[in-house]
């Protein structure tokens, strides 16, 4: 065991010694060249850190910010390969204190395809005092690469034996011919990358995403074929764009083409992530809606749609910011400008802000729930269908949809008929004037017994009384409550009770009255008038008898009102 520990420590120490890099020093052309050669040697020996360090010697300011790292690595490798095929560089011969702010290692004309091209390899002093390989040097590397293609590496120089460089050395000459902005090998590689990305897309869509749908199905979240396609497509597209974005960075595309390509991939990745996240939000909310339906608390029915819409709003907002950043739009300045113009924005969007706070008021105060029958300001009446961030949708009883801004709900009079424990029914039963008093009393008692027998009526509070003497009928007040969940059940109970009342009336031979008019024809003869004597004692005796009979009748009634 001790032997293996010693061996591992020895290997690690040798590895550290082999890849020990000098401190960053760009104070002169000599120091810059030395640092570049040492770091690239580490890269050739297999240490990936060396390539990143070597890019610090290159002036990459002219490149797009999105491509600086990628192109910097490409230029570092090409510059190193160029040096390896020109000569072994003696760093001591490079001036440490040049007379001018630029030092030329090489400045010459190369003959390529029958034309002479002016090229150079130079190190210039920048504004911060560092000496870096110039922009012109980087632009000349393409010409040097063509010119030195068949030349071998000079002696005493470490050879770059990475897989990519070995492959480049094995490719035929036609692969490096340029057609339509790119080399032939780049076109072939691009088609191959697109093919591989498509295969990854299909694998993710048909295997991983479908298995995820199956898992959600076992959790109770079911998808139609159309919904499943909508869910799996953005996941597959995300895998496609991620693969394409990763692989295309190694094609050594020109800076502008690579920049446009990366921006397009970044936008596509952002859009696909937005679609995936929005679909995941919908799935979570579907699961929550299912759980909400299992509970009696209707507050959950309002909360879930608000969570869905709020989450979508934030996802889309962040997506716009990321897309703007991908297009090199300065989103910080835009957001700062929104802060400066916040007052103007608030004034312009006061209705929107009012509606937003109105939705929070609905959420906190809970004046109604989904499915409640409401009357708002005695004008809008219907069933609550959906509560959103901006408005509440109410379905009227004639099957239309009314959209009520949430801002108006904060100061509105809301009559929530859906929160009633009991549903009231009040009407007047009109019977003929010819109906005897005893029959009226029996008829009222029969209706009370019906109310007590019906299963959903309120038994502790109802009224059935002879209430009024109208122009063409005697009116019996029917005042009753039902304990039912909705209007449909209320109509059913009302239907049953009224039918039973009609059956009782038929059995008791009670006739319902309807408005009538009697026409009397006057004769010219003088009306006969028969005088009658006053007899208050007789009247008092009659009232006393009626009062006694009434007390007896009240004691036998089935209503529980303690009014005697």
Q: Is residue 157 part of a domain?
A: yes
Residue 46 included in any domain: yes
Residue where a domain stops, chosen among 518, 534, 552: 518
Give the per-residue pLDDT at 111.
79
How far is it, in rounded angstroms, from Cα 244 to Cα 262? Answer: 9
Examine the domain organization and report whether 137 and 64 are in the same domain: yes
Looking at residue 487, what is its pLDDT? Answer: 80
Which pLDDT score, from 0 to 100, does residue 493 have?
A: 92
139 and 120 in a common domain: yes
| CA dist., res. 53 & res. 97, Å (int) | 23
Q: Is residue 354 part of a domain?
A: no
Clarify whether residues 198 and 319 are in a common domain: yes
Mean local confidence (pLDDT), 200-208: 81
Least confident of 224-233, 237-246, 526-535: 526-535
Check residue 467 and give its pLDDT: 92
Residues 411 and 434 in one domain: no
Residue 177 belongs to some domain of the structure:
no
On whether the CB atoms of residues 367 and 298 are closer than 8 A, the answer is no
Which of 416, 451, 485 is the C-terminal boundary of a domain? Answer: 416
Residues 146 and 201 occupy one common structural domain? no
CA distance 73 to 123: 18
Tokens of 284: 């979570």
Q: pLDDT at position 219, please?
A: 65
What whole-number percentage of the chain has pLDDT above 70?
A: 74
Least confident of 127-131, 280-284, 432-436, 543-547: 543-547
Q: Which domain holds residue 227?
A: 186-329
Q: Tell me, what's the pLDDT at 429?
A: 94
Helix (H) or strand (E) holding 64: none
In tens, the pLDDT along 36-70 reads 888 888 888 777 788 888 888 898 888 877 778 88
Give the angle subtended at the CA of 533 by the CAs of 530 and 536, to the nearest 5°.
140
Q: Are residues 300 and 377 in the same domain?
A: no
Condensed to tens digits (0 to 9), the pLDDT of residues 496-526 reads 999 999 999 998 899 998 877 777 666 666 6
Tell which wins on pLDDT, 562 or 165.
165
Is residue 563's pLDDT more than 60?
A: no
Residues 270 and 395 in one domain: no
pLDDT of residue 294: 67
Residue 181: inside a domain: no
Is residue 125's pLDDT more than 60?
yes
The mean per-residue pLDDT over the stretch 434-443 comes to 90
Residue 16 has pLDDT above 50, yes or no: no
pLDDT at 551: 61
One domain, residues 198 and 311: yes
Which CATH number goes with the domain that contains 392?
Answer: 2.30.30.60
- Alpha helices (H) in 108-224, listed in sequence order: 135-147, 163-170, 184-203, 209-218
User: What is the predicted pLDDT for the residue at 520?
Assistant: 67
Q: 174 falls in which pLDDT band (50, 70, 90)?
A: low
> Do residues 154 and 25 share a domain?
yes
DSSP secondary structure string, 294-324?
HSS-THHHHHHHHHHHHHHHHHHHHHHHHHH
199 and 215 together in one domain: yes
Q: If you average pLDDT over each of 52-66, 257-271, 363-377, 446-460, which comes out highest?
A: 446-460
Residue 422 or 386, more confident: 422
User: End of a domain among 329, 350, 384?
Assistant: 329
What pLDDT is stored for residue 5 in this prediction? 45
CA distance 140 to 54: 18
Q: What is the pLDDT of residue 334?
A: 62
Closest CA to 103 of 22, 24, 33: 33
Residue 115 DSSP SS3: strand
- Total domain count for the chain? 4
Asked if residue 122 belongs to a domain, the reply is yes
51-65, 92-106, 312-326: segment of lowest average pLDDT? 312-326
On whether the pTM is more than 0.85, the answer is no
Return the pLDDT at 481: 95
Query: What average pLDDT is seen over the chain?
Result: 78
User: For residue 429, what is the domain's CATH number?
Assistant: 3.30.70.100
- Identify whether residues 246 and 217 lie together within a single domain: yes
Higher model confidence: residue 282 or residue 549? 282
Q: Is residue 525 part of a domain?
A: no
d(C-alpha 146, C-alpha 74), whole Å: 15
Query: For position 525, what pLDDT does the model report?
Result: 60
Greatest mean pLDDT among 46-60, 304-318, 322-336: 46-60
Residue 326 has pLDDT above 90, yes or no: no
Query: Which string of b and e fits 315-335 if b means at least 16 CB within 10 Å?
Result: beeebebbbeebeeeeeeeee
Task: Note whether residue 547 is domain-resident.
Answer: no
Q: In the prediction, which pLDDT does 547 show?
A: 66
Q: Is 506 in the same domain as 439?
A: yes
pLDDT top residue among 463 and 417: 463
pLDDT band for position 479 (cuts 50, 70, 90) = very high
* pLDDT average, residue stretch 123-148: 87
Give the separation between CA 121 and CA 140, rounded to whole angstroms: 8
């Amino acid at each position: 065991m001790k032997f293996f520990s010693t061996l591992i420590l020895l290997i690690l120490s040798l590895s550290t010694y082999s890849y020990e890099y000098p401190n960053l020093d760009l104070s002169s052309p000599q120091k810059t060249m030395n640092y570049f050669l040492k770091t690239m040697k580490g890269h050739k020996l297999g240490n990936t850190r060396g390539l990143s360090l070597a890019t610090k010697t290159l002036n990459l300011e002219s490149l797009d910010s999105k491509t600086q790292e990628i192109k910097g690595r490409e230029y570092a490798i090409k510059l190193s390969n160029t040096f390896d095929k020109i000569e072994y560089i003696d760093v001591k011969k490079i001036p440490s204190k040049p007379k001018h702010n630029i030092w030329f290692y090489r400045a010459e004309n190369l003959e390529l395809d029958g034309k002479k091209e002016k090229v150079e390899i130079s190190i210039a002093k920048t504004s911060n005092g560092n000496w870096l390989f110039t922009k012109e040097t980087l632009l000349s590397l393409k010409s040097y690469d063509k010119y030195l293609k068949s030349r071998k590496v000079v002696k005493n120089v470490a050879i770059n034996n990475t897989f990519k460089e070995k492959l480049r050395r094995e490719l035929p000459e036609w692969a490096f011919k340029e057609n339509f902005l790119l080399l032939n090998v780049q076109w072939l590689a691009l088609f191959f990358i697109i093919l591989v990305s498509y295969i990854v897309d299909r694998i993710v869509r048909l295997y991983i995403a479908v298995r995820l749908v199956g898992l959600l199905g076992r959790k109770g979240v079911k998808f139609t074929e159309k919904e499943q396609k909508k869910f799996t497509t953005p996941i597959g597209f995300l895998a496609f764009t991620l693969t394409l974005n990763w692989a295309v960075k190694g094609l050594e595309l020109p800076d502008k083409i690579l920049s446009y390509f990366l921006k397009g991939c970044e936008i596509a990745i952002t859009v696909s992530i937005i679609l995936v996240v929005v679909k995941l939000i919908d799935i979570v909310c579907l699961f929550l809606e299912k759980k909400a339906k299992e509970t009696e608390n209707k507050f959950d029915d309002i909360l879930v749609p608000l969570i869905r819409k709020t989450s979508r709003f934030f996802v889309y907002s962040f997506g716009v910011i990321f897309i703007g950043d991908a297009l090199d739009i300065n989103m910080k300045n835009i957001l700062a400008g929104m802060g400066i113009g916040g007052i103007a924005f608030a004034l312009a969007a006061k209705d929107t802000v009012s509606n937003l706070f109105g939705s929070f008021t609905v959420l906190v105060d809970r004046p109604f729930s989904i499915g409640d029958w409401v009357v708002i300001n005695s004008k809008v009446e219907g069933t609550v269908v959906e509560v959103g961030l901006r408005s509440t949708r109410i379905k009227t009883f004639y099957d239309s949809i009314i959209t009520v801004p949430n801002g108006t709900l904060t100061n509105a009079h809301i009559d929530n008929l859906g929160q009633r424990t009991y549903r009231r029914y009040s009407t007047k039963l009109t019977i003929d004037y010819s109906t005897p008093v005893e029959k009226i009393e029996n008829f009222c008692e029969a209706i009370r017994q019906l109310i007590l027998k019906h299963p959903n009526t309120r038994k502790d509070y109802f009224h059935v009384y002879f209430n009024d003497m109208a122009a063409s009928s005697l009116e019996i007040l029917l005042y009753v409550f039902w304990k039912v969940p909705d209007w449909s059940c209320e109509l059913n109970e009302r239907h049953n009770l009224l039918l039973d009342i009609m059956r009782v009336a038929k059995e008791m031979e009670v006739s319902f009255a309807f408005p009538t008019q009697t026409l009397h024809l006057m004769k010219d003869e003088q009306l006969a008038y028969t005088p009658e004597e006053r007899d208050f004692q007789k009247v008092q005796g009659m009232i006393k008898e009626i009062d006694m009979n009434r007390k007896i009748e009240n004691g036998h009634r089935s209503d529980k009102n303690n009014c005697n």
